[in-house]
Structure 1
């Protein structure tokens, strides 16, 4: 059947609500604004409230990266952007001559839009009043969009905006597949069937991972795969294609699809080329497996479908694959070759009773007629709401009273509750009372200082004198802050933030001996910890102390301090950042044997043990070792970092104490939770949990069946040493000897735990066996 799922040129160009107010003020934010009257809420096309537009603060410099951000509220197929300047009834004359777009489907990972020729900058306005409409080729599937004005000279800019598109009902947020391949047909030009607009990762195993591209851009390939619907592109552009013999002996292409939520799938539509005279046919059959949750395994029962091959009609076509109303958040499908080549131009999914792509409804719908029952219904609703408010108030009051009683109990007997050093005659409160299931307690002596001023964890180090810490105590060089280009906020703390930035000219600035890897001409990504202007003097002191700590670290498996910006406010420290992000995200999105081997996992483990061996040699205690704090580059080189605690992405990995501090309790040794005692031995405990994460491919949280309170209760079992504590299970991928090593890391007695030197020596021989 020939069905077009989305035609971006005509069927998906509806205003999304900037001008008419359907996008609310709270959903429009900005990196800065000049005055309250030029805030982001005034960035609405054809409207002139306030002072007439959004204007970022100060003169915009060529190196600046100010942005206007819009939350569309749901995944959206974005096809058009319209912009204006600030006219303000003929009193304004500021506008953006050009701009870039960044977008994010989850609000965490931001991507830069480029057109089909690779250009990122779009033409903006030539005056302050006329609107300029730009079609997006390719369109964007996103929830969050940022407009970033671009200038060649220092100038003031202002913007008004409208966005156009329609809801993305598919719910698909990423697909993974082998990279496409080139074809050199006799007598024809070379055709390339790569996914040229794919916005995910291109892995070294020649797989596309974690993104979206031409299979979801709404452009349907023509019958002749050498012809294209786009101008100025190469033959084969509209298709993603694979040659059978290039994928080994498996005879199929395996693709994985991840969705925004669990869905009940009715069918999948695959637009496939069928030019059999040139060795291209639709797939002969397909088998699909389903996963209800990302951390679950694939269900055993698959859905199989055989196609009816057509050797008479060479037309490209949609093949509809029934999915039998299977429920899943992720689908893996194997498409089996029927000839030498297989080529797809679009894939879409249908779930529930919703159509694949629909229009934005008209906001001006008529109101339902009133009838005599309306007052009665309103009265019932008001009564129900009042009852709910009373119930919620009673619950909150009970919780408050319980917490006050718990705190007084803890203060009455701190010795017994603090760690078992009570005198024999202390009878008012026993350790058992401190760990009854309803009121677990913990030591608060050192925990409040676990998190630094920018939200990252602070290493515990031998005492440093900070009272007289000045610029001459900092060995890192001063980097020109105007060469740091903001990309996204990674995390934040009470007095500062962690940003992902591009550092222009950093390799040349650092000179010979730079720790930066070869970037192949690409810009250098760095993590920038920045202190806020409202930081206290104590926070400034702590920040300088952290700089001094970081400047002492020099190991291939530890994130390094590269340079600083401390000659003026805001104070900044610039550290390495690895292009593959953190190890938790990297592993959780992969499967063993497809993109990773057991040797790869062991190699990662050895590198982490090596980095921790180095920290232990300096008597540094990390205090938050976990896969979320291990960064990874494309060569699987690992560097231990410290800013996982600041990231909202991992907030569920931390237990918050009365709003004052956060604890990674699922990675912490019993003595750290109960006594506030952090040592190299407690880091060894966390290393054992990190090993467990690695060999489960981070598919689940440690102690996932226990609540936070039950995890704390379990540490009481370690304290009491009655043999009732719950341990993590042995991962299926983990050799028995390695799990035994993990168990030694979780020994109750600190002296029984291995050292990092011992762990490194025990793990190293297993690599490449």
Structure 2
């Protein structure tokens, strides 16, 4: 139907979406980066040389340590060679502990990088600061986002100190391959626009090259940083930056000419298929998309420019639309190592945010298999149609200056054939969409805005009650805990091979869950689902909220009944639907009335482009996840609640809150996939430690220091500040519901270990009364202010190192009576006493959290500020 053409191998550029996910560990910790690619200016000894500077490893003496002092020269460095250009989004650093024999770490450092190994660039943040804050102790990993990101092959860490002292370092780099191959671009310096007397700076502030005579050259900057500017160029996506930051812009009057010339230098010659330019079009302020573009191609550094140049007009039919937009410019597959383009002004200003290239190497297509002839033909038709359309576009453009393409009967026949093939393919796609429409409708309903009717309920009824296997948690505690305050992270065990056989005896591979046509069990070798247990009593008294069970616990998050969505609500993007075959079963964590919770692995998270994985996933390492499975025989209401829960939990995107990573809803059983924290909860961690005082630790006793406690408390406050900004109410904040590293979760109520922390009201509810504000106990009123009360109790737990229950001298009934004393306010109410290590100022913060008047309790923003700025210096 279509004549053969050459296929293109496309190299996709870095976009804003890819930049957000370009956070893979590049191999310092797991050994992907070999010893030979890690060098240093010097080393103390063989046991502290450069190859030992790997994050979270303890080889040699535990880190790289330079021979010379880093103060005042700051000339010692640790260098990593990545062997090819990489886009680096963040870096991690750590000090040296060496099983208690070393206490060296870098409080700050500088970064220098190079793309060719000859010219070195000092990294600066968006405000021009070179010094990066480092570690505060020998054991914590400190991750720093690189804003702006780095494109480099070589990276050097220069540790700094404010006095003569020993410094050691372990590092990791996070990013991905720089597939664009762009080494540098040259462009005029951006200009300043004045709007209503206020300056809008449209300069390339992160450009890492040189500037001379009003031209920037030899570097990369904001045109390739993966950040796309919005419709209003005066608004920015970054905090604390100036108006216009997201764009590079030029004034025709200030430039003194009618076009802007930008030149791009690449690593090697490649065939350019398309250039995509993200441009602003706020025409009401004199800004428009460029009118035309003329590009020249240079196949090699020493070769002349190819002729003729490519001249294309940009036919924009929606010039009245002020939206920013990507403009795709067909480049016809021309080869080049250097590309020079002239963008012609269409108005007084031209603003560009990002420029990307789609390029590839032509090669003949392989002979298609007989069974896929039709698909291959359609693919060929698509490419033929694309090439034909480009030629037709060039021929019909009035100002192109290109020769007119000849339209003969053969081209017409090819075009008609391709159109027929496209129509057939579209019909097939529509059939697939209709087949899946049922599940999309269900998920769409769950993801829609909650109506006021849905938000108003009068009784909080749990949807599940999960029992956690305590032996597993003991095992994880052994894996995560160590002697003293410092714990070296241990490597995860490799996944066990789970195979299953069909009726013919053939292996069917590893799979955590059954196919939709199979009956239970949900994974190979698992026992069948137990019989449904009787409905449990509600866990909370009446509250005008939607009560939602957390992923592995009970009634974690509650949404106040609002008449309209909160203006501060996070973006509710669709939940990624993860393929269940990627989940490899590890073990069962717990079960309840309507489902089970499993521990699984995702072996290759990088192969799932729609997975918003945590940024600290190691390259080539599996990702541990907790998977909540809804029973196939669950009621319709349970299914709707399950999907609604997923929708609401998808909004909780904060470093200190357990993250929902995705769902499996395209087939039965329905699943939710969340982060899994292998190191257990904060209550168990602290209860096995003693406070570190000036007399030193007891023999063989694990210790915890006051600064470490305050640091963890500030992380809890940070997570609660985020929840409160979304008007989310937790209702069960306690150390048992804070996992390590600090992430707020909801496991506490579901574990037999903490059954004594909950009080059962006969026939009504199960309540964590020792953590609850008086208005929660007596009136069933749960608000952010009641979460503040619970935070005060949680902080008291931490400073008491979880050695006793709150109000341990009172019975449950006396705790309830004490809530009545708060209500009567006759001065007879009992407060938790000040822990020995707690400074008076910090205890006064606790007392303010327990204020009878909920309006007088501090906000989580105030609490977080106090803990990060004041509390750390009180002891």
- Is the shorter-chain TM-score for this pair beyond 0.5, marking a shared fold? no
Bucket of the pairwise TM-score, normalised by the shorter protein: 0.3 to 0.5
TM-score, L = length of structure 2: 0.39
Q: Which has the larger radius of gyration?
A: 2
TM-score, L = length of structure 1: 0.45
